[in-house]
Amino acid sequence: MGPSASAGRRYVDLCVHCHLDDDDNRKTPGPGDIVSDGVITAQFHGSIGEFNLSVDFQAPPQGVTALFGHSGCGKTTVLRCIAGLTRLPGFLQVGQEVWQDEHTFRPTHRRPIGYVFQEPSLFPHLSARGNLTYGQRRITRHAAGPGVVQFDEVIELLGLVPLLDRAPANLSGGERQRVAIGRALLTQPELLLMDEPLASLDRFSKEDILPYLERLHDSLSIPLLYVSHDLTEVERLADYLVLLKEGRIQAAGPLAELLTAPDLPFARLPEASMVLEGLIESVDPVYGLNEMRLSSGYLLVPGDSATLGTRRRVKILATDVSLGRRPPTDTSILNSLPARIQSHEFTAPHQVTVFIALGVNGEGDNILARISHKSWDTLGLKPGDLVYARIKAVALTDALAGTEQLFAP
């Protein structure tokens, strides 16, 4: 928002709440220590073979933080360091508790985490129900009581009721992964770690499980760290993004900010897009439309399965945004929002990527428009100009219906 796409970028730490046993070494934070309520702080520096890792960032105490980058950039290594499965020199603080520093290293079995691997690791001799209740049996005395989630909640959330009496061999890949996620949740973790949980699934299985992950995002109050190299997954699930490249942090901050940042590669992709979130404030059942309030302005989105008061996320391709000097008239395009041009860049041949901020004064969300060089010159556009962003199509992710609805208003 505003003049600089990176101005509000926040670097967040990988730190999680945990409960120490009475005989654990407790550390009183010193003047140089990072202390933040509920925030996750991670700093790891070291080598594994010829691969060098040097990361220092933070993650928020709720929502989904995606660790994203090309294969081999260090995403899984960072996740394993947080889990205690890989030990590199560094510092890891979860809320007010230190899991690792120069004097302390909490072993994996004493970190209140749930870990979901790329391949579902279910016990073949147990039914889906048996695998789930195995997770419950491993709850420590610190997690006694109501816990984070209950068995009935988990099986409903992940759609596991019809699968409970089936053996893993009789489940599809997506179904096995849903059981693995449920088992991890039933250990009552304070941090959920997922290492490319959809990577081994085919396209149809991915589409089957993504809505359940979206429900998980909306239902859980614990942080989820999600490793992926698939930008589509990240756009649908993540709130925050940690971008890695060759073992280093390239950027970290809110997903919407990073996708539209001029200094990052996302805006230069042929399929460059942005995500916007807003509150559904009104429903028009006659036309099947909802009015979604953004930080500045409103969008009309599909409304058949949305309800008043819910928050929704839309994805908009830069190529589906055109610009005009005046509000459109006599057009089928229903979504037209005032915005200010922040900057522009000549990307593909004869194309211009325009970085704009919604609102008359540019006080709202940052979005992208991909227009022709001729249109840029014909309109005489320049940074600072007031324009009208005409949004030709939005994709509304609907976890309840299990679809991503493309809507051309």
In DSSP notation, 118-138 reads SS----TTS-HHHHHHHHHHT
Asked whether residue 199 carries a pLDDT value surpassing 70, the answer given is yes
Question: Of the ranges 7-21, 24-38, 248-262, which one carries the lowest mean pLDDT score?
Answer: 7-21
Task: Look at residue 329 in the predicted model and tell me its pLDDT.
Answer: 83
What's the Rg (C-alpha) of the chain? 23
Checking if the pLDDT of 148 tops 70, the result is: no
59/11 Cα distance (integer angstroms): 8
Task: Report pLDDT for 10.
Answer: 34
Give the integer Cα–Cα distance in Å for 183 and 164: 12
**Residue 25: how many CB atoms within 10 A of its CB?**
10
User: What is the Cα–Cα distance from 160 to 221, expressed in whole angstroms?
Assistant: 21
Instruction: Provide the pLDDT confidence category of residue 388 given band limits of 50, 70 and 90.
Output: very high
What confidence tens digit (pLDDT) does each residue in 91-107 have?
Answer: 999 888 899 999 999 99
Mean pLDDT of 35-60: 90
Cα distance between residue 101 and residue 43, in whole Å: 9
- Residues contacting residue 34 through CB under 8 Å, at least 6 positions apart: 13, 15, 41, 58, 91, 93
pLDDT score recorded for residue 37? 58
pTM for this predicted structure = 0.85
Confidence of residue 348 (pLDDT cuts 50, 70, 90): confident
Residues of the chain with CATH 2.40.50.100: 273-407
pLDDT at 305: 61
Residue 6 has pLDDT above 80, yes or no: no
pLDDT band at 198 (very low <50, low <70, confident <90, very high): very high
3-state secondary structure of 384: coil
CA distance 118 to 284: 42
> At 215, is the pLDDT very low, low, confident or very high (cuts 50, 70, 90)?
confident
Q: Which of 326, 409, 321 is nearest to 371 (CA)?
A: 321
* All CATH 3.40.50.300 domain ranges in the chain, comma separated: 12-259
Distance between CA 41 and CA 376 in Å, rounded? 44
Q: Tokens 């990527």 sit at which residue?
A: 353
Q: What is the pLDDT of residues 169-194, one digit of tens each?
A: 999 999 999 999 999 999 988 899 99
pLDDT bin (cut points 50, 70, 90) of residue 336 is very high
Which CATH class name applies to 273-407?
Answer: mainly beta
CATH number of 12-259: 3.40.50.300
Cβ atoms within 10 A of the Cβ of 258, count?
A: 26
> Does residue 135 carry a pLDDT above 70?
yes
Question: Per-residue pLDDT for 285 more than 70?
Answer: yes
The count of other CB atoms within 10 Å of the CB of residue 348 is: 12
pLDDT at position 393 is 83
Parallel, antiparallel, or unpaired for β 40-48 and 90-94? Answer: antiparallel
Percent of the chain past pLDDT 70, that is, above it, reads 84
